[in-house]
Structure 1
Amino acid sequence: MTKRIGLGRAPEIYQAMANLQAEVTKAAANAGVDPKLLELVKMRASQLNGCAYCLDMHSRDALKLGESARRLFVLDGWRETDLFTEEEEAALVLTEAMTKLSATQTVPDDVYERATKVLTEDQYRAIAWEVIAINSWNRMAVTSHSPLPKRDS
């Protein structure tokens, strides 16, 4: 793989992204969004974007929060299971629609309605901002060919 210029090596811009992420995390907590749900959102967007770096990071974070390995293993096929709650499914379908905007050009009304049926306005905003943030992180990591950190497992 060709070594790339690391976009994370622009400290002021990177810090702005980190600040955005911190604000999104805070807004989600204030809205009562389960941190495990945010990790599922990050994982699903990262799957769609092919971001190994973020998949590695957020699977570890999810496991530390008590997420089950089984749910992470089947996340790419979440529609084929009954392992996810109605709220999680709404967040996942919203994540997919927002992540695939280049193909769809919109978040379909049925996706929006499904999400707003089970999420409060503050929860919807927090999850949507999380999707925006993780898609930005994915684009930074994929474009930079960010290597996985060295780990034992």
Structure 2
Amino acid sequence: MTTYQVPERMNFSQVAPKAFKALLALDAAARDGLDPVLLELVQIRVAQINRCAYCIDYHVADARRAGESEDRLHQLVAWEESSLYTVGERAALALAEAVTLLPAGVGDEVYAEAEEHFGEKALAQLIALILTANAWNRINVTTRKTPGTH
């Protein structure tokens, strides 16, 4: 089987090192206090929505290292129909989708459900994580970051 190699447009970290370092700092701050498996699930789901192959590859590998099961990774694309996710994970995934698909809006019900499961501090961290994941996706999709090169 021959695969198609999408040429990378630029190495963002080399071309814009200050912006890259600032995003790394925000990424680290956003992760503070969040469950490692939950944060990988959220980042994978955001990357699926944004069609960022590099980020999907990167975060699936990290999720496996954090102990995530193959079944849950495979069913993440259809998490709403799956029984494999906790109510808290479902609230986080619903929030991730609402924030990522912002023109549809973040409804009061989605926000309240996430707030109920995470509390104000963890919810703020989760929102920052979703924002950061979307920023990474947009950089990597735009620059055509090659999956498997992390």
TM-score after normalising by structure 2: 0.91
Please state if 1:58 is matched with 2:59: yes
Deviation of 1:150 after TM superposition, in Å, equals: 5.1
Does the aligned pair in 1 maintain the 2:45–2:77 contact within 8 Å? yes
Distance in 2 (alpha carbons) for counterparts of 1:50 and 1:3: 16
Q: Which of residues 7, 15, 31 is equivalent to 1:25?
A: 31
Counterpart of 2:106? Answer: 107
CA deviation digits over 1:110-142, x for unaligned, max 9? 111111121111111111100000000000000
TM-score after normalising by structure 1: 0.89
Distance in 2 (alpha carbons) for counterparts of 1:80 and 1:149: 29
Structure 1 counterpart of 2:13, which letter? G
Question: For the structure 1 residues 38 and 138, does the alpha-carbon distance in structure 2 shift closer, same or farther, using more than 3 Å as the test?
Answer: same
Does the aligned pair in 1 maintain the 2:40–2:63 contact within 8 Å? yes
Structure 1: any 5+ residue segments left out of the alignment?
none
Does the aligned pair in 1 maintain the 2:37–2:63 contact within 8 Å? yes
Question: For the structure 1 residues 2 and 62, does the alpha-carbon distance in structure 2 shift closer, same or farther, using more than 3 Å as the test?
Answer: closer
Q: Which moved more, 1:139-148 or 1:1-10?
A: 1-10
Does the aligned pair in 1 maintain the 2:8–2:145 contact within 8 Å? no
Structure 2 counterpart of 1:14, which letter? F
CA deviation digits over 1:16-39, x for unaligned, max 9? 11111111122xx2xxx3110000
Q: Which runs of 4+ in 1 moved over 3 A?
A: none
Please state if 1:76 is matched with 2:77: yes
Aligned residues: 144
Structure 2 counterpart of 1:113, which letter? A
Structure 1 counterpart of 2:39, which letter? L
Root-mean-square deviation (CA, aligned residues, Å) is 1.4
Structure 2: any 5+ residue segments left out of the alignment?
1-5
Please state if 1:97 is matched with 2:136: no
Counterpart of 1:7? Answer: 12
Deviation of 1:5 after TM superposition, in Å, equals: 2.9
Does the aligned pair in 2 maintain the 1:3–1:145 contact within 8 Å? yes
